[in-house]
Amino acid sequence: MRDHTKLRAFELADEVALLTYKFTSGFPREEQFGLTSQMRRAAVSVPSNIVEGCGRGSDADFVRFLDMAYGSLRELEYQTSLATRLGFAPAQSDLPERLVETSKVLAALIRSRRKPNS
SS3 116: coil
Contact at 8 Å (CB) between 54 and 1? yes
pLDDT (0 to 100) of residue 6: 96
Q: What is the pTM of this model?
A: 0.93
**Taking 80 as the threshold, does the pLDDT of residue 115 lie above it?**
no
72 or 91, which is more confident? 72
pLDDT one-digit tens code per residue, 16-49 = 999 999 999 999 999 999 999 999 999 999 999 9
Which pLDDT band holds residue 91 (cuts at 50, 70, 90)?
Answer: confident
Domains of the chain: 4-113 (1.20.1440.60)
